[in-house]
Amino acid sequence: MIEVANLSKEYGQRRAVQDLTFQVSPGEVYALLGPNGAGKTTTLRILSTLIRPTKGRAKVAGFDVAREPLEVRRRLGLVNGGMRVYDRLTGREVLRFFAGFYGLEGQAFQEALDWVADLLEMEETLERRVLEMSTGMRQKVVIARAILHRPPVLLLDEATAGLDVFARRALLNFVKAYRQLGNAIIYSTHVMSEAEEVADRVSFLHQGRLVYEGSKEEALALGEGSLEEAFVRRVKEAA
């Protein structure tokens, strides 16, 4: 569902991403791990067609991110940490507004709303104004607007940033549920414990380069039971 080949992004003399290659299959959570500045967000911005790569190529659901951006967006959901929604609208009103971007109106919108409300257990959230919602409720609305069109590919970029323990738990449970539906997910984070819980495969980014890729079990073995230790070891070796 996601194919990245020799992908690079340069800003003047700075190389944010360097010669990145990886793939993500349907029904798989691929953890993109690294500290701030490692190149995670730049990679996801390229995949979501927000910026163009300097060289290399990337495809989402078979469509090239540079040549076919509209087709990519139709098959993609994106959740960033700290995303906001309109305070004065109810959850239902927010979702109806964003559904319009995907041509979901009338019965099609209602079916999409029923599906996402059931998946995220957000019936109580729909009639409440965002201003009156807890952090967890707001995050459910953010996720719901990203998957209303049932995208086969979902990109999560530090999606638990600023969440309390209950909201964080709800998001991690959602990731597992969305994977079980056969969707491909990139889970980008610097919080190794979250990747240990949800990932099938992990990769380590350091200064824009992919310095390790393997199954979660292989990475844990490398770090003697700790992804964080595996990351530190691999970065030191690469340096």
In a domain, 80, yes or no: no
Assess whether 8 and 67 both reside in one domain.
yes
Give residue-wise pLDDT tens across range 61-70: 999 999 999 9
Mean pLDDT of 22-38: 93
Q: Which residues pair with 80 in a beta bridge?
A: 157
Q: With pLDDT > 90 as the criterion, what percentage of the chain qualifies?
A: 76
Assess whether 66 and 103 both reside in one domain.
no
Assess whether 136 and 89 both reside in one domain.
yes
Assess whether 117 and 232 both reside in one domain.
no
Assess whether 32 and 135 both reside in one domain.
no
Looking at 150, 181, 199, the residue that finishes a domain is 150
In a domain, 43, yes or no: yes
Per-residue pLDDT band for 209 (boundaries 50, 70, 90) equals very high
In a domain, 211, yes or no: yes
In a domain, 134, yes or no: yes
Looking at 123, 150, 177, the residue that finishes a domain is 150
Looking at 150, 168, 186, the residue that finishes a domain is 150
Q: Give Cβ neighbours of residue 6 (< 8 Å, ≥ 6 apart).
A: 19, 20, 21, 55, 56, 57
Residue 205, burial from CB neighbour count under 10 angstroms (0-12, 13-18, 19+): buried
Residue 25's CATH number: 3.40.50.300
Q: Tell whether the torsion through CA atoms of 72, 116, 23 and 45 is positive or negative.
A: positive
In a domain, 30, yes or no: yes
Assess whether 106 and 6 both reside in one domain.
no
Number of compact structural domains in the chain: 2
- Coil, helix or strand for 119? helix
Assess whether 146 and 169 both reside in one domain.
no
Assess whether 142 and 166 both reside in one domain.
no
Stated as kind and residue range, the H or E segment containing 48 is none
The domain in which residue 127 lies consists of 85-150
Assess whether 132 and 161 both reside in one domain.
no
Assess whether 54 and 125 both reside in one domain.
no
In a domain, 110, yes or no: yes
Lowest-pLDDT range, 5-14, 15-24, 37-46, 160-169? 160-169
Assess whether 230 and 161 both reside in one domain.
yes
Give residue-wise pLDDT tens across range 141-171: 999 999 999 999 999 998 888 788 888 888 8
In a domain, 221, yes or no: yes
Residue with the bigger pLDDT between 230 and 37: it is: 230
- Cβ neighbours around 41 below 10 Å, total: 19
Assess whether 158 and 229 both reside in one domain.
yes
